[in-house]
Amino acid sequence: CRFYCLTFNLSVKIYRSIVNLYLIIFTSGSYKMEQIYQSHKELFMALEKHFTLHLVNYKEVESIPANAYKMAFIASGGVEDCVIRNFSILPYPITLLSDGLNNSLAAALEIAACVRNKDMKVRIIHGHTSDMAKQVLLHHKAFAAKRSLKGKRIGVIGTPASWLVASHVDYLLASQRWGVNYIDIPLQEVYKRFYEITDDEIGLEASIFANKAKACQDATAEDLLKAMRLYKAIKQLCVSEQLDAIALSCFALVKQLNTTGCLALSLLNNEGIPAGCEGDLQAIMTMMMAKAVTGQPSFMGNPSFIDVKRNELLLAHCSIATKMVNEFIIRDHFETQSGIAIQGLMHEGDVTIFKCGSECLDEYYLAEGYMTENTNLSTSCRTQLKIKLNKPVSYFLTNPLGNHHILLQGSHADEIQEFMQQNRCKLRE
């Protein structure tokens, strides 16, 4: 066996068998794997609660499976020159794991400085054993999220709304950076399926959905049937085109079908298919990232009011995954007063606001806050969430990445920050 693998008990081994961590070992003097394990046993045991741990001599790095999760472990001092000479075998961006024993932190600091002098990113994971294990877990979560995005197909159904003048994406650069593919699909593909679906096919689902609502106002049974037919049409398209997410040109649909995409987007997000409106290419990528990192659906909203003194933001839109709310009301669409919209009523609690922007998808905004109130203003979209941010809300007025921002329930800033930093993105504040 060309690498050293340690596990403790059968149940833990079964759990960890699909989560491998390969540590590329750099140590001065003779290379004795058992001795290295004993010297750093506290850290390795902490890691083995979460991973199947493989200790690999840097000289035998070719034994590590392709695309495996790996990082450099600095086991002692005196390895600085060796690490730099073998720089090409390390996964980028460079992460150096060091528990500080045997002058390993001193070596890691010197290595990191040299890497930064070459204008490359480098990070040292160091600290108390439990904190290091948590940092490695976050690091792996980001690694796994990026890998899960590779090959994903984003259906751009129709064309982005003309008013999204700052939300363009370069398809080629997005594919190179994130591994995703934007697939342009004409709206006619939706129209064709829509007209083929009968009310009998969707009547039961429409009735079940209506019965789950707290109330129905501003909308008719016919509106609901049309919206459900549109959902079915888009769902069929997702299956036939193997789409993992969609950005829907929803306003164009209103003219042709006299219905809106709000219900369809809500149900697709419920089912784990990130779905955004107005054909916003940056917002749908943000929703995909959020799903990849946290596993949760997200809410795409317009910042509709900013209160700098109270550091509050009102985020509003006409669709939200009903899984994200306690109750919902069936409404008509705010801008067009037609079709179906969702007024979601969410419980108070911690939230995370996230946006990935720029044509290269290499900038982002990230903040945590607390959702304090569901408002019902007549001047904003149907779902309205008032959020008190933990960071200055003035960002939205002085340096925004654009209109739409994404809301996640819970505190996820650490996970998303790790993910974006691993992918060499710039935080905008």
Query: 389 φ, ψ to 5°?
Result: -85, 155
More confident residue, 350 or 252: 350
14 pLDDT higher than 50: no
Q: Across-strand partners of 194?
A: none
16 pLDDT higher than 90: no
Q: What percent of the chain has pLDDT over 90?
A: 90
Residue 33 — very low, low, confident or very high, per pLDDT cuts 50/70/90? confident
Can you say whether the dihedral through the CA atoms of 379, 385, 387, 393 is positive or negative? negative
| Nearest CA-CA partner of 65 in 92, 43, 91 | 91
Q: Across-strand partners of 185?
A: 157
Give mean pLDDT, residues 76-98. Answer: 95
Residue 32 — very low, low, confident or very high, per pLDDT cuts 50/70/90? confident
Distances from the Cα of 294 to the Cαs of 144, 308, 350, 419, in angstroms?
Answer: 11, 29, 14, 11
Give mean pLDDT, residues 327-353. Answer: 96
54 pLDDT higher than 70: yes
Q: What is the pLDDT of residues 319-336, one digit of tens each?
A: 999 999 999 999 999 999
25 pLDDT higher than 70: yes
Query: 75 φ, ψ to 5°?
Result: -90, -20
Give mean pLDDT, residues 118-140. Answer: 96
- Residue 218: the pLDDT is 86
Q: What is the pLDDT of residues 192-238, one digit of tens each?
A: 999 999 999 999 999 999 999 999 998 899 999 999 999 999 999 99
Q: Across-strand partners of 364?
A: 356, 427
